A and B are shown apart, each in its own frame.
Chain A
Amino acid sequence: METVKERGVLNCQVGLPTPGFYALAEDGTWSGMDVDLCRAVSAAIFGDPDQVEYQSVTSAVRFTSLANAESDMLSRTTTWTAVRDTQLGLDFTTVNFYDGQGFLVPADSGITSALELDGGVICVLTGTTTELNLADYFRANGMSFTPVTNENVNVLVETYLGGGCDAYTNDKSGLAARRSAFPDPNGHTLLPETVSKEPLGPVVRQGDDAWANLVRWVVFGIINAEELGVSSENVDEMTSSADPNIARLLGSEGNIGEGLGVSPTFMVDVIKAVGNYGEIYEKHIGENTPIGIPREGTLNALWTEGGIIYAPPFR
């Protein structure tokens, strides 16, 4: 925390460019759902969302890079698992997206279920939970497969598009995001099966509890903001709201920021910069984007609307 403040810049690790989550524009700026989390943390610390140095790293070396303190935090569709949380010197803060693994196949292959993939060649990113789930799923169903692996997602997608494998497997959100960037998105079908649970969220290095608290409560803050109806548009009016929940969230009442080592009104800066959870979702991966992952009725809806996006109260 102190190191980041002194440096004046947040080193935030994202993955190789992926539409919706961490996309790289032609002018070199990053955008996306996970990028907005980096910006939110930067806004909470510095009051400015752009004090971020983005580090784009392959999934194979992401944890080493974080454990070696090259990155301050990791915000990149990373699945929370027991081994990662306990044996790699990492600390998973919370979940900001509930995902599951699926399969993408060419539409003209005629495959309609993952159970028809027996004997198939499957493209999979190496060093991921996806790789392990794939093996588990085929084993559990008594099917065989041949993996084609690579650590570079772009090489893998090229191999899939070139016909080098029968199916490409990844988290469903990732598949939808990738498909949106294909030359012919409609030529590929997402199979209905979801073969795993993939709770994704930001990760920090183990042993710095104050820093983990800050990242965790920034995520909780933007979820609470959506629940309380605070958005980037109305945040200024909301600072004078009579609702004590909103007043505590925005720092007009109480001093939650103090315990986190940031200004009392840090959530005002965060919401001004990136908006609340719903705004971030709709802006980057919602139904009106090319990625188009519906939110309603899924796990990623707010708990008040049938999902499991739920944050402890600001109190």
Chain B
Amino acid sequence: MAVIHNPDPSDSKQRGVTRLFYDARIRSIFIQAITLALVLGFLGWLTLNTMTNLAARNLSAGFDFLDVSAGFGIGFTLIPYQESDTYLRVFFVGIMNTLLVAAVSIVLATVFGLIVGLARLSNNWIIATLSRSYIELIRNTPLLLQIIAWFFGVFVLLPRPRQSVELGEAFFLNNRGFYMPAAVPEPGFGVVTATFLACIVGTIALAIWARRRRDRTGRHFPAFFTGFGAIIVLPLGVHLALGSPLGWELPELKGLNFTGGVSVPPSFCALIVALSAYTSCFIAEIVRSGIQSVSKGQLEAAGALNLPANWTLRRVVLPQALRVIIPPLISQYLNVTKNSSLAIAIGFPDLVSVWMNTSLNQSGRAIPIVAMTMAFYCLVSISVSLVMNYYNARAQIKER
């Protein structure tokens, strides 16, 4: 006869609660709910506290100042700006300048970093030692110091406008900046641009076709070089055939300074040189470590298959090295973007300088301005990070 245990109702209830307590899933939901409540509560308290204190100190908050005319001049702008424009416009001027610095520095740092990193692996003792000294010297001194040194040590000491360093009467370098001819498109230049864009699209299509054909037939077609050649030669041909429909506006000395053409201030030059040099050292080391991470056996295997040298590099070494190179490279790109804010030390009008310094001071709206600046850097960093992570995911080993 089976003994039927008749559970006491209160005992069952208690066991229910206990069971809830020991159930990992419920416990974790409970803990997460508490954490979320604490975080939200903290943020709410922070906002309330800030608002109370701002009111207590008679400080105005809010974003209404954005349509007020800023009233100050900016030394270098990519988008048209004049003193009567609004603070919001200043924000965009700052963003464009910051992005320009970041983009130019990233390109230059990557090119230099690649060259120096490869030179570091050279069998030639002089080249290897030179690149190693360059890396050790530049990456072991603070970036701010380098920016200031380039600015005061080089670009401010350049000759005055009347004694500019000239390069073929088109490029001028003096202590007010670097002056270049500006391209002025004339009628017909649109055709050249269209040809150029068509060649890029064509090259991408060609590359896809070449890969499919290789997968199908095993035959190789040099899509990269064909496309690259086409992108350069075809638009150039069209350009010449149409009688060069592109005018050049040369900078010329008028009054106190040069006018016309395109120019960048000395602070921009100093910033770009310092940022690119500094970051290139880190990129060089990343490239070196990536290439050295490819085991020697892979090279020997490629040799055994009698692959040509450039195939060994492009199809064997690089795909494996990139897996090691890309993650730290993402960090470096993010660093450049954030380091560009050091521009304030030499007065280049980047976002931090014109927005978080000048505008903050002239308008007195600290909280909205700092919040907008942080949001911008956050957004840019996250975007760069997402794009590079997507590329990284594609470059990783596919077996897993």
Contact = CB atoms under 8 A, between A and B. Distances in A.
B255 A134 contact: no
Given A120-B256, A147-B75, A149-B75, A205 B156 contact: no
B71 A150 contact: no
B349 A149 contact: yes
B60 interface: yes
Contacts of A131: 72-73, 358, 362
A236 interface: no
A290 B59 CA distance: 40
Contact of B73 (A63, A83, A88, A135): A135
B358 A127 contact: yes
B257 A164 contact: no
Given A119-B254, A119-B259, A127 B361 contact: yes
A121 B357 contact: no
Which of A59, A64, A148, A205: most chain B CB closer than 10 A? A148
Interface string B156-188: 110010000000000000011000000000000
Interface stretch (A6-14, A29-37, A154-162, A178-186): A154-162
A60 B364 contact: no
Interface of A: 59-61, 63-64, 67, 83-84, 87-89, 117-121, 126-128, 131-132, 134-136, 138-139, 145-151, 155-156, 158-159, 162-166, 205-207
Contact of A150 (B56, B84, B347): B347
16 contacts: A67-B57, A87-B59, A119-B254, A120-B257, A121-B257, A132-B362, A146-B257, A151-B344, A155-B347, A156-B347, A158-B156, A162-B152, A163-B160, A164-B156, A166-B256, A207-B58
Contacts of A150: 346-347
B57 A60 contact: no
A206 B364 CA distance: 14
Which of B84, B255, B349, B364 is packed against the most chain A CB atoms within 10 Å? B364
Contacts, number: 118
B265 interface: yes
Contacts of B353: 126, 149
A101 to B, nearest CB: 14
Given A67-B57, A117-B256, A147 B346 contact: no
A138 B84 CA distance: 12
Interface in B57-99: 57-60, 71-76, 83-84
B251 interface: no
B254 A132 contact: no
Question: How many interface residues does chain B have, given as a range?
Answer: 35 or more
B380 to A, nearest CB: 23
A67 B361 CA distance: 13
A251 B83 CA distance: 52
Nearest to B347: A150
A87 B364 contact: yes
Contacts of B156: 158-159, 162-164
Given A60-B358, A206-B58, 7 more contacts: A89-B59, A126-B353, A126-B358, A135-B71, A146-B75, A156-B347, A207-B57
A89 B58 contact: yes
Contacts of A207: 56-58
A122 B164 CA distance: 19
Contacts of B57: 67, 89, 205-207
Contacts of B349: 149
Contact of A151 (B84, B357, B366): B357
B358 A164 contact: no
Given A162-B152, A162-B175, A164-B175, A119 B72 contact: no
A149 B175 contact: no
B120 to A, nearest CB: 36
Contacts of B117: none
A60 B357 contact: yes
A88 B360 CA distance: 11
A127 B369 CA distance: 14
A151 B343 CA distance: 12
A138 B82 CA distance: 11
Interface in B208-253: none
B266 interface: yes
A163 B267 CA distance: 14
Contacts of A63: 361, 364
